[in-house]
Structure formats: C-alpha cells, structure tokens
Amino acid sequence: MTERALKIARRVEDFVRTSIEPYETDPRYPVHGHGPTADLVNELRQKARDAGVLTPHILPGGAHLTQRETAIVLIRSGLSPLGPVACNTMAPDEGNMYLLGKVGNAEQKARFLQPLVDGKARSAFFMTEPAEEGGAGSDPAMMQTMCHRDGNHWIINGRKRFITGAEGARVGIIMAKSDDGACMFLVELPDPAIITTRVLDTIDSSMPGGHAEIEINELRLPAEQMLGASGEGFKYAQIRLSPARLSHCMRWLGCAIRAQEIAVAYACARHAFGKPLIDHEGVGFMLADNRIAIKQCELMIDWCADVLDTGSLGTAESSMTKVAVSEALMKVLDNCVQVMGGTGVSGDTIVERIYREIRAFRIYDGPTEVHKWSLAKLIKRENTQGSVHQS
C-alpha cells in the first residue's frame, strides 16, 4: 500500500473517531427518519474541511486514488455511519463523482462535479422506478422514463422511486430512454419539473435526504446537459456500477469493525456465571467468527479493487464481492447484537443502528439473489463455451 494512502487513512480514522462519533447521538441525526439534517451535514463537512479530510479519495488537481487506496480510506470513513457523510465519501455522491470524472466534459465537470468534490452540494442518481408500473429496478433494461429531442433540448417524462438523497440535492443524474437507447442527463436541482411525491420510511437512516419517489413532468434540458452520447447510458452505468458496489462494501466494513470493537469491549467487561462473557465458549466463538469474517471481507475488497485497478469493469468480481461482504457483515452484526443481549437491541450504542443499515445494504446496489443469478448465467455461458472448445 502506498504511503500517501496510509497517511490519508490515518487522518480520516483519527477524525472520525474523535470528531464524528460524538455526533451519533445528536438529535439532528434521528433514529427513525430520512437521514441527518442539512444543518448537521453542513456542520460535519465543515469540520472535515477544517481537518483536511473532506473528499479524501480525490486528490488536489482532481486525480483519484486507486481503488485499492480508496478502500483503506473509505473503510476508515465508515467507522461511524456519519463518517462518510462528513468526509464526503457517501453514496450516491461518491459514485456520482466517479462517473462525472470519467464521462463528463470540462464544462460539465466545472458546473456539476466541482461543487460535489468541494462538499458544497449533494447529488442524486435517478434510475430506479416503481415496480408496480413495470419500471427499472434490478433490471435497468425495463426503463420506463422516456426522453425525446426537441430542437436543441431534450424533454424527459417519467417516475422514479428509491432515489437516495433527492431531497436537498443540488445535482441530479437522470437516466431515461430515447429511440437510441438509454441516456443520462445532468440537471441542477431543485427544478419545478422534478417533484417529490413522498420520502419513503425505510429501515436505514444514515443517508441525507432519505429515499424519495419522484415525478418528472416535461423536464426540458439543453442538449449540452446530456452526459456523453444518446443511447450510451447503460455503458456509462457500467463505469459507475462496480466501483459504487465496492465502495458500499468498504464503508459498511468500517461500520462492522466498529460494531465488533463495541461487542468485544462489552463481552470482556460483562460478567455472568462467574466469568467474563467472552470466556463462555458460545460468546467467544461468535466474536472469533466475526474476526475471521471481517478479515475475509477485507481481502475480498482488496482483490476486487485490484481487478478494477487493471482497467477491467470487474462486473463479475464486484458482484461476488458485494454478495460475500454484505452477507458476511450481516452475520457479523447479528453476532454483535446477540453477544450484547438487551444492550445490543437498544439505542445505548451505535450497534443496533449499524445492524439496520447493513440489513439494507443486502438490497441496495443489487440484492444478493440478483447478483447470484447473474453469476449463474456467467457460469452457464462459460461452461457452454468450454463444451464447444472441447468438442
């Protein structure tokens, strides 16, 4: 690992542990709600700015850390659910910054990307659509939001659902379908043609703005606000897809490490039946299993990051990593809660909250079952090709 990444990671970890963890009980970060308030987000980001750890994965001048370097930084930012919010490594902003850095032109980067990098704006990625209308979810090919050219403008109409951070966002990336295929558009928010019909109540509560249902009614955008070319939207989505999946794994691994620390401290301090809980085999083994799973997740993330650093899209590798890490961390958090008993299901520590956040992680960026289905198709295709070669 490079010295520059290790140095950044150390600064991020110290900042999150000393400056951000105390905010976990701040009333502006409600236990049940739609994420930390805008006021709290701005306060946390100013602290990160002052500490020199705002957007730490993007270097001065715009260069991006490698994925392996990014991993050790984002894992440390995830030691608190508020850490990524403060450090500007949170979804969907982190993935949107990556996409804009890869696909946006100079004017688009100055107008839409720079405010995100500076932590002065939040963003939203408008892709998922209502299932009851047959819209896009895990299968983006089902896109129902339509766009058509009108002179030097594009007109967009459709409905979106589970749009993270839409409330309060200043930058939007909208996916819609033209006669050429999928397209992406950049939009400044708020816009009167983009209406929030409701913000859903969900099991998680760490993402600013929550997850919204959106109506897009006759949105008119200049042609220069199309990201890339008409019909290339799915290709651009692939550029964003694998790194964004992997970033989720990084951040939630940090949270799981923190939960394990709390559970270990509890098991060592709490006594029952004449000895510390950790000396009871049933408890000690759960914590040992957690130690193993956390190391396996760390290695899986590093392996996938290395694949992405070769320039590969890493679609299969990121699917494998997302499944392995999300499922393993769910078990890690379940063990932490179990070890801590009543304290584990209470709000007395951050463990209960992390448990709910990681449960949602098993669905966001593709449910486990969809990733396995995709991998099974790849296995079948490889077997078929192998049979042809052998014959």
Number of H helices, E strands in the chain: 12, 9
Domains and CATH numbers, the chain: 3-90 (no CATH), 123-230 (2.40.110.10), 234-380 (1.20.140.10)
Tell me which DSSP letter residue 225 carries.
G
The encoded tokens of residue 11 equal 């600064």
- Structure tokens belonging to residue 315: 């679609």
pLDDT band at 238 (very low <50, low <70, confident <90, very high): confident
User: What is the band of 391 on the pLDDT scale with cuts at 50, 70, 90?
Assistant: very low
Residues 6+ apart with CB under 8 A from 20: 44, 47, 80, 82, 83, 86
Count the alpha carbons within 13 Å of 265 in the hemisphere toward its beta carbon. Answer: 10
**The model scores a pTM over 0.75:** yes
Residues 6+ apart with CB under 8 A from 205: 29, 30, 31, 32, 33, 34, 35, 353, 356, 357
CA distance 93 to 99: 10
Closest of 189, 197, 187, 112 to residue 156, by C-alpha: 187
pLDDT exceeds cutoff 90 at 139: no
Mean pLDDT in residue range 309-314: 92
pLDDT on residue 389? 55
Q: What confidence tier does 143 reach under pLDDT thresholds 50, 70, 90?
A: confident
pLDDT in tens, 156-214: 999 999 999 999 999 999 999 999 999 999 999 999 999 999 999 999 989 999 999 99
Over residues 352-374, the pLDDT tens digits come to 999 999 999 898 888 999 999 99
Element (H, E) at 44: helix 38-51
Q: How far is CA 41 from CA 45, 46, 86, 120, 376, in A?
A: 6, 9, 7, 10, 41
Residues 338-361 have a mean pLDDT of 94
Instruction: Tell me which residue of 155, 151, 152, 173 sits closest to 223, measured CA to CA.
Output: 152
pLDDT at position 149 is: 94
- Of the candidates 32, 38, 84, which has an alpha carbon nearest to the alpha carbon of residue 209? 38
More confident residue, 318 or 60: 318
Q: Tell whether the model's pLDDT for residue 137 goes beyond 90.
A: no
User: Per-residue pLDDT for 253 more than 90?
Assistant: yes
* Strand ranges, E, within the chain: 123-126, 146-150, 153-164, 171-178, 181-188, 194-200, 211-222, 271-272, 275-276
CA angle 82, 84, 85 (to 5 degrees): 60
Residue range 313-317: mean pLDDT, rounded? 92
pLDDT of res. 58: 93
User: Rg for the chain (alpha carbons), in Å?
Assistant: 21
* Cα separation, 150 vs 147, whole angstroms: 10
Is the model more confident about 321 or about 130? 321
Q: Which stretch of DSSP H or E encloses residue 357?
A: helix 351-361
Kindly report the average pLDDT of the chain as a whole number.
93
Answer whether 86's CB lies under 8 Å from 52's CB: no
Q: Is it the case that residue 83 has pLDDT exceeding 90?
A: yes
Mean pLDDT over 14-21 rounds to 98
Q: Which residue has the tokens 């949170």?
A: 90
Q: How far apart are CA 122 and CA 124, in angstroms?
A: 7
The stretch 320-349 carries a mean pLDDT of 96
